Amino acid sequence: MSALYLGLISGTSADGIDAALLRFDSEPAILAAATRKYPPHLRERLLALTAAQAAISLDDLGALDVEVGECFADAANILLAGQNVPAEAVAAIGSHGQTVRHRAAGRFPFSMQIGDPAVIAEKTGICTVADFRRADIAAGGQGAPLAPAFHAFAFASRAPCAVLNLGGIANLSLISAERPALGFDTGPASCLMDAWIGRHQGLACDLDGAWARSGTVNHELLDTLLEDPYFSAPAPKSSGREYFNLDWLDARLGHCAISTADVQTTLLALTVRSIVDALRGCAPEVKELLVCGGGVHNQALMADLSAALSPLPVASTSSAGIDPDFVEAALFAWLARERLVGRPGNLPSVSGARGPRVLGAIHPAPR
């Protein structure tokens, strides 16, 4: 039996921990997967920490790192127990952790994820690979997005295609049979819409885009949002909630008299427009767009994307054999495998790093 690998991640939406158990033969096969929600009080603290001006004591940050690590370990143990898979059958866990800050520009660039991997290794009894972004950043790269390398492996047979992950932030992978994969973060996917509906309706997300569907796009506001230099900046580029957040939105709203529903509709249009502009500008030759991430369940978002890109086919990655909710968890299982065999996990064509780098730090299983 081929070795099994388990991937763990909580994305920029911080809505829970995705866990996926995989076998890698000629292509990845997800054997089991599940999402374990954070306790509400923990999610609130994590979202507060990702705000642009958030402050936290070193004591609180250290404790939070361990608490999140315990949640990640629980997610892994529960998934394996449900499948009757013993720890010794799993070669490694690849844990992305929870990003709390991503600053890939500046004199001292960094990307910080919490969720202590030593705790995960101890509580699961499984070798854990984590800290996947630092080596790429140290080599002059963005450290993100990491997904294009895995997308190029998993969806090579669909080239030329694009793969779009709709999490809090949207990232795009451009897969070609003629050149190395390209990819970058296009901007906000759901993070602004989630934050806006959270402020005005106390909800975690706009289910199926229903609230966005109730309003009208304000084109003046949309143009103002699109004037942000991030959207026109060339790749490599990456972003996060520390950039695209309610402070960013409020600064552009000013004192405009726009209904809250119209703002939500305009934020959905911003997501669609930034993705469409990026795809048409960088890869007009692609034959299809495969979509994964939580945003694939937002019917309004998917419908508007499909309409804007027509006649280009837009479909979930399930059409290519991978559950759209667990593509990112599969990515980190794959990166753990690449780390154990000593293969590079980054793509300099994506991140801008000076060269290929082996990613991740190994935390051995306890003896």
Q: pLDDT digit string (tens) for 184-203? A: 999 999 999 999 999 999 99
State residue 213's pLDDT score: 97
Range 35-51 average pLDDT? 91
On average, the pLDDT of the chain sits at 95
Contact, 278 vs 173, CB < 8 A? no
- Cα 345 from Cα 336, distance rounded (Å): 9
Q: Which residues is 315 bridged to in the sheet?
A: 290
Separation between Cα atoms, residue 162 and residue 181, nearest integer Å: 10
Q: What percent of the chain has pLDDT over 70?
A: 99
Residue 111 near residue 321 (C-beta atoms within 8 A): no
Answer for the pair 233, 182: CB distance below 8 angstroms, yes or no. Answer: no
- Predicted local confidence at residue 2, as pLDDT: 60
Q: What is the pLDDT of residue 1?
A: 45
The sign of the CA dihedral 86, 10, 289, 295 is positive
Query: Residues 212-229, buried b or exposed e (16+ Cβ, 10 A)?
Result: bbebebbeebbebbbebe
Q: What is the mean pLDDT of residues 323-339?
A: 98
Surface-to-core class of residue 275, CB atoms within 10 Å of its CB (0-12 exposed, 13-18 middle, 19+ buried): buried
Has residue 50 got a pLDDT over 90?
Answer: no
Residues 25, 1, 340, 349, Cα dihedral to 10°: 10
Tell me: the pLDDT tens digits for 215-235?
999 999 999 999 999 999 999
* Tens-place pLDDT, residues 259-278: 999 999 999 999 999 999 99
Domains in the chain, please, with CATH?
Answer: 4-143+326-363 (3.30.420.40), 147-320 (3.30.420.40)
Q: Is the pLDDT of residue 142 over 60?
A: yes
Q: Quote the pTM value.
A: 0.94
